[in-house]
């Protein structure tokens, strides 16, 4: 899977910030073995709590944990307790006769309390074609939607990195506007990302500052408090059928006749596949002649009848409270402002957002807060309206006051 940084001044790809990574697809099973060496009298309560956190999906692993990757869930737990202090225990271990521990009872002995979190689920539907461009080109159609494996099939996907990127860019615009922060064509990409509050909420890249006396540089990178999941389409296809779509050529007369048949097969035998995925032709215009530019004709397979799962956002309030307690409410206020603008169709997502694609309509916005202190208005599950007026009035007043105080402090610090 590929990614690219977007220059905040030009709006184009930032120089030197393209990357790619190989990923394990969603639904893959990974065996995990954990061994705890301890005294017989030791109570492994912390281990039971870690396993419960894994079981509930509260621990992410690997790279890009806040950008759609690394979400895991522990299943089929088997626990063996081996006693190697006596001969009987050693023989039981060697003969693989150690009885299984009752996981449900172990959980009761060490109850797990989830950390403070605020999760959002954004139900949405596309008003224009929404997609992320695949890395490679097709044969009959040049630009294809990105797909990712889910269990045994493949689905269209909008990576969490793409969604988080557009949300971050909008949050930066908000902070730059209210704090009167400016960038120009000379501002380097890494410096463009150094926006107060946004760095804490969305994360900051590695910045190794040189130290005196030859000491090892201190890492300035920070993981963001906000994580965004990959968003998958509900339409599922087999990998072989989609590979056929990628590799099917046009008919000898230059039409999409053969491609349409292959696409219909991939979509489960639909009679009118172009009502779900439509090949659209695009051409660049020569500025001198006013006609079509030479060799600038290309086609895009646009999803026009595809439904999508909800977008999941997860705010680690516990991390904010631990490392940045003074900006918890301003950070939540900024996030709510971004979600408000997203619900008002001000933030397009995906490919071709300046060319008639990417506009979405939020159909439902819900939140679920747990273990939140001094934020009673966000506890539990609730539905949030696009104008945020469904939230508790006292909560909105508190968030507004803290947000304004933070903005004033930033202006005074300039």
What is the model's pLDDT at position 212? Answer: 62
Tens digits of residue pLDDT in 102-146: 999 999 999 999 999 999 999 999 999 999 999 889 999 999 999
Average pLDDT on 245-261 reads: 91
pTM of the model: 0.90
CB neighbour list of residue 385: distance below 8 Å, 6 or more residues apart: 365
Please state the domain extents for the chain.
Answer: 15-113, 115-414
pLDDT above 70 for 24: yes
**What whole-number distance in Å separates Cα of residue 274 and Cα of residue 324?**
51
Give the mean pLDDT of the chain. 91
Q: What band does 213 get if pLDDT is binned at 50, 70 and 90?
A: low
Output the CA angle 209-213-218, nearest 5 degrees: 30
**What whole-number distance in Å separates Cα of residue 212 and Cα of residue 375?**
43
Q: What band does 209 get if pLDDT is binned at 50, 70 and 90?
A: low
DSSP 58-88: --B-SS-TTTT--B----S---B----SSHH
**What whole-number distance in Å separates Cα of residue 399 and Cα of residue 357?**
34
Q: Are strands 203-204 and 222-223 parallel, antiparallel or unpaired?
A: antiparallel
Residue 158 burial (CB count, 10 A): 28
Closest C-alpha among 303, 351, 273 to residue 129 = 303
Q: What band does 234 get if pLDDT is binned at 50, 70 and 90?
A: very high
Residue at token pair 């905040």: 8
Q: What percent of the chain has pLDDT over 90?
A: 71
């Amino acid at each position: 899977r590929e990614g690219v940084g977007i220059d905040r001044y030009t709006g184009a790809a930032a120089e030197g910030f393209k990357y790619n990574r190989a990923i394990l697809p969603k639904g893959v099973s990974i065996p995990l073995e954990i061994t705890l060496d301890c005294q017989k009298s030791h109570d492994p309560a912390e281990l039971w709590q870690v396993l419960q956190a894994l079981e509930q999906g509260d621990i992410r692993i690997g790279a890009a944990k806040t950008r759609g990757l690394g979400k895991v869930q522990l299943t089929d737990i088997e626990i063996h307790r081996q006693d190697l202090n006596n001969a009987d225990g050693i023989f039981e271990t060697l003969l693989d006769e150690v009885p299984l521990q009752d996981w449900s009872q172990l959980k009761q002995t060490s109850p797990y309390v989830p950390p403070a979190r605020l999760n959002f689920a954004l139900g949405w539907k596309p008003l224009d074609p929404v997609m992320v461009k695949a890395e490679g080109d097709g044969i009959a159609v040049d630009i294809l939607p990105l797909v990712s494996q889910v269990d045994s099939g493949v689905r269209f996907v909008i990576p969490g990195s793409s969604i988080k990127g557009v949300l971050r860019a909008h949050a930066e615009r908000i902070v730059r506007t209210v704090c009167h922060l400016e960038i120009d064509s000379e501002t380097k990409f890494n410096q463009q990302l150094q926006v107060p509050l946004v760095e804490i909420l969305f994360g900051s890249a590695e910045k190794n500052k040189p130290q005196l006396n030859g000491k090892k540089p201190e890492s300035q990178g920070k993981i963001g408090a906000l994580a965004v999941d990959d968003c998958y389409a509900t339409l599922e296809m087999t990998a072989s059928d989609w590979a056929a779509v990628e590799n099917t050529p046009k008919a000898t007369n230059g039409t999409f006749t053969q491609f349409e048949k292959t696409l219909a097969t991939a979509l489960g035998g639909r009679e009118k596949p172009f009502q779900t995925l439509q090949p659209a032709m695009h051409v660049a215009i020569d500025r001198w002649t006013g006609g079509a530019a030479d060799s600038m004709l290309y086609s895009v397979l646009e999803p026009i009848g595809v439904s999508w799962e909800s977008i999941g956002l997860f705010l680690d309030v516990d991390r904010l409270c631990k490392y940045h307690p003074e900006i918890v409410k301003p950070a939540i206020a900024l996030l709510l402002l971004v979600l408000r603008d997203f619900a008002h169709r001000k933030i397009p997502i995906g490919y071709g957002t300046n060319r008639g694609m990417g506009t979405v309509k939020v159909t439902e916005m819900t939140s679920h807060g747990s273990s939140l202190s001094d934020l009673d208005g966000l506890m539990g599950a609730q539905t949030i309206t696009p104008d945020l007026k469904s939230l508790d009035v006292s909560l909105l007043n508190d968030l507004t006051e803290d947000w304004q105080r933070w903005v004033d402090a930033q202006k005074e610090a300039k």
